């Protein structure tokens, strides 16, 4: 039996598989835009297990699966037996006998690793404390749509070195581009946690204005991620981040045609100024929509393999 292919972090896909997914995304998006029915996953089902809130991830997976001819089942750990102490291993054995794919949004990466080891079907990371690989598929696809290949380009990350940042760092190694990262002191990238080999594809800057200089894309995320809220009760955390807001001055220091991205949800007036996220360089709505198209390509690939 072929080993099951999971998508637990971005580097579970090789660079040629990422290129293939982007090519499939283009084809699948074009069918969707011209109302062509495309049901490669007819009669297949996806179970979505959530342990944290979501708008985009739930909607894009559920709508995406329906559009591919399949169905999606929503479960929250709160009202499943997982929330009452059933082991992850037992849950994985049972759930994976009843569906064709599982998407999980949870806290520790270790939970989805353990789930995948006992799953008969592909497991997709819908966000953990460590990574958000589905987001970066959409972000890079959006960049490529707007600007062409990301190879050799520079992406500036401003703010917390969180799950989204870690995944960008993996992408830089896989697709050979540069990351300029600026975090407040005490919130720096941890290369082991990010799952990157070294610093060949990223550079750290104490001053966020230096990090954005000449960047082709400026991106950021909330100062406090889900699961870390107790830290934000700490006024000192908000204070620590106050100079890490992407504002018009920062965008002005980036390359003339620099794009702005944010995975959303956003906090205007914290990590990003309204004039930037609602301004002409922002592509956040295309970025959010592309979650749908890239994940459809991902699900097709995980269930059916390469179709062309
Ligand atoms: N960007 C993202 O994952 O959004 P949700 O939390 O709404 O799913
Ligand atoms: N870093 C954020 C992303 C939300 C989509 C979080 O984990 O809350």
Please tell me the distance between residue 308's alpha carbon and the centre of ligand 1 in angstroms: 30
- Apex 288 CA angle, 213 and 128, nearest 5: 85
- What percentage of the chain carries pLDDT values higher than 90? 93
The verdict on the CB of residue 225 being under 6 Å from ligand 2 is yes
263 is catalytic: yes
* Residue 128's CATH number: 3.40.50.1370
In a shared domain, residues 40 and 68: yes
Instruction: Tell me which ligand sits closest to the C-alpha of residue 287.
Output: 1
Which two tokens mark 58?
């739930």
pLDDT digits 0-9 by tens, 14-67: 999 999 999 999 999 999 999 999 999 999 999 999 999 999 999 999 999 999
Question: What is the model's pLDDT at position 231?
Answer: 72
Map residue 164 onto helix, strand or coil.
helix
Residue 232: is its pLDDT beyond 70?
no
Average pLDDT over residues 287-306: 99
The verdict on the CB of residue 160 being under 6 Å from ligand 2 is no
Q: Which of 36, 22, 26 is nearest to 68 (CA)?
A: 36
- What percentage of the chain carries pLDDT values higher than 70? 99
Total count of residues recorded for the chain:
308
pLDDT digits 0-9 by tens, 164-178: 999 999 999 999 999
Please tell me the distance between residue 294's alpha carbon and the centre of ligand 2 in angstroms: 19
In a shared domain, residues 173 and 239: yes
Q: Which of 136, 101, 113 is nearest to 13 (CA)?
A: 136
Helices and strands, number each (H, E), in the chain: 13, 9
pLDDT digits 0-9 by tens, 234-282: 788 889 999 999 999 999 999 999 999 999 999 999 999 999 999 999 9
Residue 198: is its pLDDT beyond 90?
no
In a shared domain, residues 51 and 166: no
Which atom in ligand 2 lies closest to the alpha carbon of residue 263?
A: 5
Choose, from 44, 105, 201, 237, the residue flagged as catalytic.
105
Question: What is the model's pLDDT at position 254?
Answer: 96
Which whole-number Å values give the CA distances from 60 to 20, 21, 63, 277, 296, in the listed order? 20, 16, 5, 21, 9
In a shared domain, residues 119 and 149: no
Q: Which domain, by its residues, includes 105?
A: 10-132+290-304
Flag whether 2 is in a domain.
no
In a shared domain, residues 280 and 143: yes
Which atom in ligand 2 lies closest to the alpha carbon of residue 264?
A: 5
The verdict on the CB of residue 163 being under 6 Å from ligand 2 is yes
The verdict on the CB of residue 30 being under 6 Å from ligand 1 is no
Instruction: Tell me which ligand sits closest to the C-alpha of residue 157.
Output: 2
The verdict on the CB of residue 128 being under 6 Å from ligand 2 is no
In a shared domain, residues 264 and 141: yes
In a shared domain, residues 191 and 227: yes
Which two tokens mark 281?
């360089």
C-alpha–C-alpha distance, residues 276 and 249, integer Å: 10
Average pLDDT over residues 115-123: 98
Contact present, 44 and 70 (Cβ < 8 Å): yes
How many Å separate Cα 118 from the centre of its chain? 24
Instruction: Tell me which ligand sits closest to the C-alpha of residue 288.
Output: 1
Flag whether 239 is in a domain.
yes
**Whole-structure pTM over 0.75, yes or no?**
yes
In a shared domain, residues 123 and 240: no
Average pLDDT over residues 176-192: 96
Average pLDDT over residues 279-304: 98
In a shared domain, residues 164 and 126: no
Query: pLDDT grade, residue 199 (50/70/90)?
Result: confident
Determine the residue of 54, 162, 230, 271 to mutate for testing ligand 2's pocket, defined as the one with the most ligand atoms within 8 A of the Cβ atom.
162
Which residues touch 306 (CB under 8 Å, ≥6 apart)? Answer: 20
Count up the domains in the chain and report the number: 2
Residue 1: is its pLDDT beyond 70?
no
Question: What is the model's pLDDT at position 234?
Answer: 74
Query: pLDDT grade, residue 130 (50/70/90)?
Result: very high
């Amino acid at each position: 039996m072929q080993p099951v292919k999971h998508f637990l972090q971005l580097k579970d896909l090789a660079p040629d598989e990422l290129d293939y997914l982007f090519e499939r995304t283009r084809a699948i998006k074009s069918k969707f835009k011209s109302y062509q029915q495309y049901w490669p996953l007819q009669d297949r089902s996806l179970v979505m297990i959530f342990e944290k809130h979501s708008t985009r991830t739930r909607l894009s997976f559920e709508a995406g699966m329906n559009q591919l001819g399949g169905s999606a089942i929503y479960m929250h750990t709160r009202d499943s037996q997982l929330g009452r102490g059933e082991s992850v291993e037992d849950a994985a054995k049972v759930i994976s006998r009843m569906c064709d794919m599982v998407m999980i949004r949870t806290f520790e990466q270790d939970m989805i690793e353990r789930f995948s080891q006992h799953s008969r079907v592909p497991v997709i990371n819908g966000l953990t404390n460590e990574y958000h690989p589905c987001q970066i598929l959409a972000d890079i696809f959006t960049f490529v749509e707007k600007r062409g290949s990301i190879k050799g380009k520079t992406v500036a990350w401003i703010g917390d070195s969180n799950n989204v940042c870690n995944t960008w760092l993996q992408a830089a190694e896989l697709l050979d581009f540069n990351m300029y990262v600026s975090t407040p002191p005490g919130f720096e990238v941890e290369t082991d946690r990010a799952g990157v080999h070294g610093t060949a594809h990223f550079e750290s800057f104490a001053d966020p204005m230096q990090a954005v200089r000449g960047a082709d894309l400026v991106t950021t995320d909330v100062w406090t991620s889900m699961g870390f809220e107790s830290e934000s009760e700490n006024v000192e955390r908000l204070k620590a981040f106050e100079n890490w807001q992407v504002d018009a001055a920062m965008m002005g220091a980036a390359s003339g045609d620099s794009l702005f991205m944010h995975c959303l949800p956003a906090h205007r007036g914290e990590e990003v100024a309204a004039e930037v996220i609602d301004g002409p360089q922002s592509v956040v709505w295309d970025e959010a929509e592309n979650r749908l198209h890239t994940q459809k390509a991902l699900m097709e690939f995980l269930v059916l393999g390469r179709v062309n």
